[in-house]
Structure 1
Amino acid sequence: MSEKLKIGITVGDINGIGLEVIIKSLMDNRILEYFTPIVYGNTKVASFHRKAIGVQDFSFNVINSPEQANPKRANMINCWQEDVKISLGEQNEVGGKYAFLSLNKAVDDLQNGKIDALVTAPINKNNIQQEGFQFPGHTEYLQAKSNASDVLMFMVTDELRIGVVSGHIPVKDISSAISKEAILEKLILMNDSLKKDFWIQKPKIAVLGLNPHAGDNGLIGTEDEDVVKPAILEATEAGIFCFGPYPADGFFASDTYTKFDGVLAMYHDQGLIPFKHIASRKGVNYTAGLPFVRTSPDHGTGYDIAGKNLASHESFLEAIFYAVHIVRRRREQAELAANPLAFRRLSKDRD
């Protein structure tokens, strides 16, 4: 077996459910066969959460850098030394301050090649705002840190993969953010990710309309005729196998989404509401277009259930394994590209 990947994990808001789902995900030692976890946080804070949910037989191996990680343990790097007042379920500056310290350190190690992928626990988009983080969320922060020209918020599960053209923006600004160029760029990112990260040779992508009933031929808004359709046509001419625009309500109600490898929604709620219903606690948020691999669970900080041992860790565990699989797929593709004979043999085997 090849060397295990080192997966960096941020703790998110320390007053939320982040550490609870992290601990629950790492408690089963069998998962250590697949990757080496490195959590960026603080052992005292982790111990507080562990006791709050009644977990006895679990502890982190404390290290100073990823190079010291024990492949047979869940490892933790202390990103701060001072004592911290934890207020479970409360949105305050403390939660945001330490969420950013965890994230910033993990991203530094990721960009320096010390860890192989990043899995982020939920942050609160309000209290994390500070010097160094003035972004709507993780996605925009990581795009800026990596100097990526564009990224795609790609929500993935076994049943559905859905991306959005416009992300964390007010509803009143959605229409002006939907342009032919923006749609085309997201289609390119989705098509490339489906090929590179999910090994789908010729992805079939559905594009949702912006307006109700996809505009009803211009009766309910003109954007679908004037913007969405031309983007689909240009993408098709560029070799992307895409179709639409589809009215969003009927598209999901009729299970049409099951016929496609990916779906491009026009805005956040149009895509994420059906996704979270269909994914049923197992959805993963993947940021396509970055030079590195980042995933996260599809839920938030869960203040209302923090410390009550009620949080499901299914989505977080899925996020970890998606990160592992995507990194391995990318590396295998790179190896195949460097060895064309091996690629031809693999293609024959698959045929």
Structure 2
Amino acid sequence: MGEQAKIRLGISVGDLNGIGCEVALKTFEDSRMLDFCTPVLFASNKTISHQKRELSIDINFNGINEASKAIDGKVNVVNVWRESPKIEFGKPTEEGGRYAIKSLRAAVASLKEGAIDVLVTAPINKNNIQAEDFNFPGHTDYLAQELEGKSLMFMVADTLRVGLLTDHIAVKDVAQAITQKLVREKVSTMMQSLKMDFGIRRPKIALLGINPHSGDNGTIGQEDDKIVKPVITELFDKGHLVYGPYSADSFFGSNLYQNFDAILAAYHDQGLIPFKTLSFGKGVNFTAGLSKVRTSPDHGTAYEIAGQGKADESSFKEAVFTAIQIYRNRKEYIELTKNPLKKQKIRKSA
């Protein structure tokens, strides 16, 4: 691709009956976006033509048979399938799930072989994607299997960054799933990502308590005292800036979150409710800890408005910019790690 080639940004189109194609096409309907990257959608000419026609989106695209043939300055569409899947906007169909997975598999294969540099995934439906050969609760778990590493669901919006100890599991299973080993692993993944992906030299991390009031010294559950606190003490004693566990109910309302580079929440809603309240429309879901960069918007398929042209592409556009910035940060971090003399020069000139 050459040293000066633009970042090739792959896009899996998600559920064809949702708003995935709409937000992706609207993002690149603004031709200025092509100055930042070369978009590569994994779908088909027929499918994208149908979507742009139904949604009245004015965009030209270049059909190709493999991602490596993508042309800079154009919206590229890889023909993953030749047939015309039935599109029923707003309906969670088996066919919609099947083609979402076809798009995702093709995009991940291209990412692994280096034909694209980063991946932005449009929303899928966690129910209709289930199949004999695809038994994952969502993108994150599949990507963790395909792109070696220990994954962390990391929601980011400017300086607000919220990671999850547990993600897509039932609330009744949360306490049992959290172990000292898991806390260590997730904090380590978060810390490395903050350094490598966000350029923060000495990250400061807050952990939220599992129980109300972090257990109130064992009165409302033992997990915080027996699992979370010992790990925080251990890491802090090793020189890491890790604090908590903080009572989750007041942590965000009191603006305490602003004192930290990232927050590690115990379970899905504990972290995502305050995150989306503070940043909806600007938030991005980033899968940290993997060998490649993947982001997605912070919303779902939005069946209720699919096919109506009403979808707001703001979060998808943020996911594009975030993927590009993380890719650049990571590349620079790796170069500096390999060449410490370069690091010294940068510090002297700063």
Deviation at residue 305 of structure 1 after TM alignment: 0.5
Scaled by the length of structure 2, what TM-score is found?
A: 0.97
Unmatched segments (≥5 aa) in structure 1: none
By how many angstroms is 1:87 displaced?
A: 0.4
Counterparts of residues 118-157 of structure 1 (less than 5 Å): 118-148=119-149, 150-157=150-157
Structure 1 residue corresponding to 2:28, chosen from 26, 29, 36: 26
Map of 1:141-180 to 2, 5 A cutoff?
A: 141-148=142-149, 150-180=150-180
| Matched position secondary structure for 2:321 | helix
- Once structures 1 and 2 are overlaid, which stretch shifts more, 131-140 or 202-211? 131-140
Aligned to 1:196: 196
Instruction: Tell me which residue corresponds to 2:320.
Output: 320
Aligned-pair CA distance for 1:62: 0.5
| Counterparts of 1:331 and 1:147, CA distance in 2 | 18
Q: CA deviation at 1:97?
A: 0.5
Contact kept? 2:13, 2:21, Cα under 8 Å: yes
Q: After superposing the two structures, state which structure 1 stretch, 338-347 or 305-314, moved more.
A: 338-347
Paired-residue identity, %: 51
Task: Answer with 233-242 or 302-311: which moved more.
Answer: 233-242
**SS at 1:289's partner residue?**
strand
Counterpart residue identity of residue 26, structure 1: F
Q: Distance in 2 between matches of 1:193 and 1:102?
A: 27
For structure 1, which segment, 238-247 or 94-103, has the greater mean C-alpha deviation from structure 2 after superposition?
Answer: 238-247
Output the aligned Cα RMSD.
1.2
Question: Could you say which residue in structure 1 is the equivalent of 2:71?
Answer: 70
Shift of the alpha carbon at 1:336?
2.2
DSSP 3-state at the match of 1:253:
coil
> Could you tell me how far 1:338 is from its partner in structure 2?
3.0
Q: Which residue of 1 aligns with 2:273?
A: 273
Question: Is the 8 Å Cα contact of residues 159 and 261 (structure 2) preserved in structure 1?
Answer: no
In structure 2, the residue matched to 1:115 is: 116
Deviation at 1:327, TM superposition (A): 0.9
Aligned to 1:308: 308
- Paired residue secondary structure (1:100): helix
What CA distance in whole angstroms lies between the structure 2 residues aligned with 1:237 and 1:305? 51
Work out the CA distance in 2 between the residues paired with 1:37 and 1:132: 28
After superposition, the C-alpha distances for 1:224-270 in whole angstroms (9 at most, x for unaligned) are 11111011112223332111010111001101111110000000000
1:15 is displaced (CA, Å) by: 0.3
Distance in structure 1 (CA, Å) of the matches to 2:210 and 2:181: 15
How many residues are treated as equivalent by the alignment?
348
1: CA distance, partners of 2:163 / 2:338:
31
- Distance in 1 between residues matched to 2:157 and 2:45, nearest whole Å: 32
Contact map agreement 1:21 1:313 (CA 8 A) in 2: yes
Tell whether the 8 Å contact from 2:111 to 2:118 is kept in structure 1 after alignment: yes
- Unmatched 5+ stretches in structure 2: none
Instruction: Indicate whether 1:336 and 2:349 are aligned.
Output: no
Deviation per CA, 1:175-199, whole angstroms, max 9, x where unpaired? 1011111111100000000000000
- Following the alignment from structure 1 to structure 2, what is the Cα–Cα distance between the partners of residues 346 and 40? 39
| Matches of 1:231 and 1:68, distance apart in 2 | 49
After the TM superposition, which segments of 4 or more aligned residues of structure 1 sit over 4 Å from their partners?
none
Counterpart-to-counterpart distance in 1, 2:148 and 2:193: 18
